Structures are given as C-alpha cells and as structure tokens.
Amino acid sequence: MSVVRHHSLQSGMEFDGYRLEEKLHTGGMAALWRITDLQQRHDSGEQAGQDGPALIMKVPLLYSSEDPTAIVAFEVEQMIMPKLRGRHVPHYFGAGDFDAQPYIVMEHIAGDSLRSRFEKAPLPIDEVVDIGTRIAHALQDLHRQHVIHLDIKPSNIMFRSDGTAVLIDFGLSRHDRLPDLLDEEFRLPMGTGPYISPEQVLGVRNEPRSDLFSLGVLLYHLATGERPFGHPTTISGLKKRLYRDPIPPRNHRAVLPAWLQEIILRCLEVMPQARFDTAAQLAFLLQNPEQLQLTARADKHTQDGFLSVVKRRFQVGGAEPALLHSVSEQLAKAPIIVAALDLASGSEALAESLRHITRRMLQTEPGARLACLTIRKVSRIGMDDSLIQQGENIHVKQLVDLKHWARPLDVDPDKITFHVLEAPDPAAAIIDYAHNNRVDHIIIGSRGSSALRRYLGSVSAQVVAEAACTVTVVKAQEKE
C-alpha cells in the first residue's frame, strides 16, 4: 500500500490501484472524488460502463477541521457500509486505513439529491406523498439491517434512475451489532439542527423512530416550504422541540388534506411511542390515507397554549424516552400482518379457521398492524360489472364482509385496515400488495376439499413460493 499525505490529494494521483479523476464535492467532514479502478476489480454497479462501474471515493478532511468527530464518524461509516446490502444504499467496494490514506470506495449514484427539490417547495401534494413513501421504504430496509441512520436530511437522500430512494452518509449512524463509537466518545447531540429528533438532543441513539421524526421534518418542509423548528444552532435552541410544538402545516398551506397533517404531526411527536411504530407502517398509510384514523391533530389550527407548553416542559425536562435494546426489537414489536381471505359462500369454516389463527398471532404480537385483504377476481378485459343484479356494489359488499369477519378480533381501529383488491390474478395481487407495503407475515387459507380446492390451493402455493415474507397457510376440511 502506498503512503499518501492526506491533505495533498490531486487529480491524476494514483494509489491502491485507483486514480483520482475529479473532485466532485467538498463537505464539512469529507470530500468526494470521481475515480477510476485501474485494476478493474469491480464488475457491477448502477452506472456500469466499458471500464466497469462508476465509482466515487470518500476521503475525510483530517486537516481542515479541529472537530474529532470527523475522524470517529468516518470510522463508523467504514464499519457500517460493508454490512449494508440492497438498492436503498450505495454498493460498497472497499476502504483504506488511517495509517496510509483513509477512504471509502462506493458506487456513484448519478443524479441529484433530495436537496434540489427543496428549492421548489412547497411541492404538489402527490409528489410530497410519493417522496415520503419512497424514503420510508428505504428507512424500513435500513432498519431491517440493524441500522438507524440518525442524520436523515435532504442532502443524504439520493434517487436512482428508477426513483428508488438511496440513503447515504452513515457517519452518525448506529448499528445494533457494532460498537457505537460516537456514543462511547462524545456526549453532545449528534445530528443536523433542523432534523434532529428530541431524543437525539438528549443523547439517545438507539431509537429507530428518530428517523421517522426526521422524515416528518422533511415532509413538513416539502408540503409547506417552511421548517417546523427553524434552524437552531445551540443546545437550548434544539431543546425547544421537546416542549414547543410546530405550527400546524395547514396554517401555512390550507389546501393540504387533513390526513396529511395528521401523518406529519404524528411523525413530529416528542415521544417516540406516539409516532408510527415503523417506517413500513408510515409508508403504508401514506399510500392508503383512507385507512388512517384521524385524531385532533388533523384539525389542529394553532400551536398548543402556554399552559400546555409549560406542562410539557416539566414532563420532558431532563427525562429521557424509554429506551429499546435494538432497532430489531422495535421492528419485531410492530409487524404488518395480512389476512388474505376468500369470503365467498361456502367458505365459512375456512374463514373461522383463519380468524382463529389470526387471533392467536395478534395475541403474541400486540403491536402488530393487521391488513384484512380479499381479492375480487376480474377479467383482464375491462368491463363495468361492479354492480350485482340487485343493484348492490360488489366492492362495497366485500368490504363490509371483511369488517364483519374481523369484528370478533376486537382490534384497535388504529391497528387494522381493510382492502378489496380487483385483479385478474389473485396470487399476484397478494404478492404485489405484500411487496409494496413491506408486509412481514401473510395468513392465507387453502381449502382441504371442495370443487374449488385446485384453484384456491394454487393461489396459496404461489404465495408461499413467491412472497418475500413469512406465509402461514390455514386449511379447513369442509364437507363436499
């Protein structure tokens, strides 16, 4: 390994089999270089060309700052990035040690960061929802890999050419299964002023819902053009979010729907347990707002009064939120469960078996969200056959039947949703729904006997084979 002086990097320089081509960006703690892999060791990447994938090298600015967190944050990123996989993070290729030239080589994500969209805020509501959903999916994928980002902000979110959100810069992150160097060495809050969560201000670094708070700040800004907590630069300024609620978004922009204000203000709750349980649940409700249970947040027009603020200040002053052992613990406490039902005549016994299994599962997973799902099989050729002869809407009837099936389960209304999907292929519809909503577990029925056994059995078998989550198949013997 060749030894390089950290502060003398220049275009054209070669070391460790890489050549520096162009400095793309210089931030507060690191610089990004476009590089060439002279040894052509890497043969995959988002922007692969004739000479292999497009790569960038991240190099810490060790001589431009007196802040020791720059070094520790770079060590953290060197530890975490090799552990990450998937489309929501840059592909990792290698790293250099501090005893020669520290660096991280990673996939170059082409395109702009989310920061460019903030210049256009407020954005159309559909775009705000779409961006929020894609970021929430990226966060859920990251959390499933035992990592809390803890620095979600516009410049740390990129988008692939297909729209997939990519999270970058893991210097302030926390990995459940690795040492937390930042927590061990520093006591000041770690994060970015406008986006840091209340618990981070208090030094708590193991709460995955901190990332949901930061996403709530992004949604607020994209929807209104304003920051909910301004841009504080002092500890006392950061602590105000522990007791001072933001101006309701609809005060800034009256056309915002009540359900979107409900979602944004819930993300911005002081206590993590008052937010959404997981990023997957947040994404689910952004995509299915009609299933959201509205509260007083939705109609809020003013900030809380003086007495409420004083009371909250005494309640949270000096107190830390309840701590979790890991991000994995939080995800395990709040799975999304789908009960996929066929409520056609003659399936009563199977429906009861499904309800029994679902009840048992909810008893063991009290924080779960239940999605009750049925498929209305339609022709591939579009026809308007939504009304039966008596004039009753089939879609509405099936929705009512779903709610009737679920009523004995006595699930909190905030934890259950109902969906009638119209599709020519029931199995594919269930699989797509599970994928799009990051479902953790599917419960589906399969008849033990009857003329429809072959058809229904094929649906459950296909779901078992292709769904990227746990599937429980429930069978019930019925009389011929």
At 375, the pLDDT band (50, 70, 90 cuts) reads: confident
- How many Cα atoms within 13 Å fall on the side-chain side of residue 443? 23
At 305, the pLDDT band (50, 70, 90 cuts) reads: confident
Q: How many CB atoms lie within 10 A of CB 287?
A: 16
Q: What is the mean pLDDT of residues 359-376?
A: 89
Structure tokens at 46: 């988002």
The torsion angles phi and psi of 473, rounded to 5 degrees, stand at -100, 125
Q: Is 254's pLDDT higher than 70?
A: yes
Q: What is the pLDDT of residue 329?
A: 79
Span between the terminal Cα atoms of the chain, in Å = 75
Q: What is the mean pLDDT of the chain?
A: 86
At 188, the pLDDT band (50, 70, 90 cuts) reads: confident
Residue 225 is given by DSSP the state S
The contacts found for 107-110 with CB under 8 angstroms, 24 or more apart, are 107/45, 107/46, 107/47, 107/53, 107/54, 107/55, 107/56, 108/34, 108/45, 108/46, 108/47, 108/53, 108/54, 108/55, 108/56, 109/46, 109/158, 109/160, 109/166, 109/168, 110/46, 110/47, 110/54, 110/161
* More confident: 147 or 345: 147
Q: Is 470's pLDDT higher than 70?
A: yes
Q: Is 114's pLDDT higher than 70?
A: yes
In the chain, the amino acid numbered 380 is R
Nearest to 359 by CA among 419, 416, 399, 408: 408
d(Cα 58, Cα 102) in Å, to the nearest integer? Answer: 9
pTM: 0.85
Cβ–Cβ < 8 Å for 100, 59: no
Cis preceding-peptide flag for 194 (omega within 30 of 0): no
Q: What is the pLDDT of residue 52?
A: 64
Q: Domains (ranges, CATH) in the chain?
A: 6-107 (3.30.200.20), 115-330 (1.10.510.10), 335-476 (3.40.50.620)
Residues ≥6 apart with Cβ < 8 Å to 404: none
In the chain, the amino acid numbered 291 is Q
Cα–Cα distance list, 10 to 23, 51, 397, 400 (Å) = 8, 22, 69, 68
Cβ–Cβ < 8 Å for 242, 316: yes
Strand, helix or coil at 96? Answer: strand
